[in-house]
A and B are shown apart, each in its own frame.
Chain A
Amino acid sequence: GAVVSQHPSRVICKSGTSVKIECRSLDFQATTMFWYRQFPKQSLMLMATSNEGSKATYEQGVEKDKFLINHASLTLSTLTVTSAHPEDSSFYICSARDFWGSTEAFFGQGTRLTVV
């Protein structure tokens, strides 16, 4: 199947700093990528839909100024957690569907963010 690569897999940062997470589709073009957040033993909560060349669409309750999403190309979307706080510590995971609207979604490996 198609491959989605997410980087970094783990990151520890200090409170108040920003962290950027990259999500790349390696062998297909993804006009749309999705960002999820997962707390321990909980489900994947959709944060936002990232559209290539346009603004992201955020789910209700997700702060767009806190979680900046950029989808500059058909193979790369980035999520930047700005001014991170300990409550932002979580597992962040991206997924993508290919340009031709394949039904299956492919997931990145996830990023474990710890804010200290």
Chain B
Amino acid sequence: GENVEQHPSTLSVQEGDSAVIKCTYSDSASNYFPWYKQELGKRPQLIIDIRSNVGEKKDQRIAVTLNKTAKHFSLHITETQPEDSAVYFCAASRPGNQFYFGTGTSLTVIP
């Protein structure tokens, strides 16, 4: 099955700085890569996603990049705010199949 690795496991940034989280995947057939934000005790919320036919996608302060050849994708959050503090998960999926999640990154934005 798919193996998704995520780094770093914890990340602290000053408010206003950027945060970058990186993931790698193993299954070349995976073609959908979502990023989820999860607050304590709550369900994961999709924040951005990218398909394998696209190299980059941006939504306001959040962007995701994908390198299919190297099988890695990254989440970029600019101008971080305290409310961005949460655990972030990357995931990889084949069409219609289950998602395999990375190990998570606990992001803390220091005011």
A2 CA to B1 CA, complexed, in Å:
27
Q: Which of B80-98 contact A (CB under 8 A)?
A: 87, 89, 93, 95-98
A43 CA to B51 CA, complexed, in Å:
22
B89 touches A43 (CB 8 A): yes
A103 touches B100 (CB 8 A): no
Interface residues in B, total, Cβ within 8 A? 26
A33 CA to B101 CA, complexed, in Å:
15
A110 touches B43 (CB 8 A): yes
The reply to whether the CB of B61 lies closer than 8 angstroms to some CB of chain A is no
Name which of A41, A42, A49, A109 has the most chain B CB atoms within 10 A of its CB.
Answer: A41
A109 CA to B46 CA, complexed, in Å:
13
Query: For the side of the interface on A, what is the size category?
Result: 20 to 34
Known: A49-B98, A103-B95, A110-B43. 6 other contacts (CB 8 A): A43-B101, A93-B44, A95-B99, A101-B96, A103-B49, A107-B44
The residue in chain B whose Cβ has the minimal distance to the Cβ of A57 is B98
B44 touches A109 (CB 8 A): no
- Chain B nearest Cβ from A100, distance in angstroms: 9
**In the complex, what residues of A have CB within 8 A of residue B102's CB?**
43
The residue in chain A whose Cβ has the minimal distance to the Cβ of B2 is A46
**In the complex, what residues of B have CB within 8 A of residue A36's CB?**
101
The reply to whether the CB of B111 lies closer than 8 angstroms to some CB of chain A is no
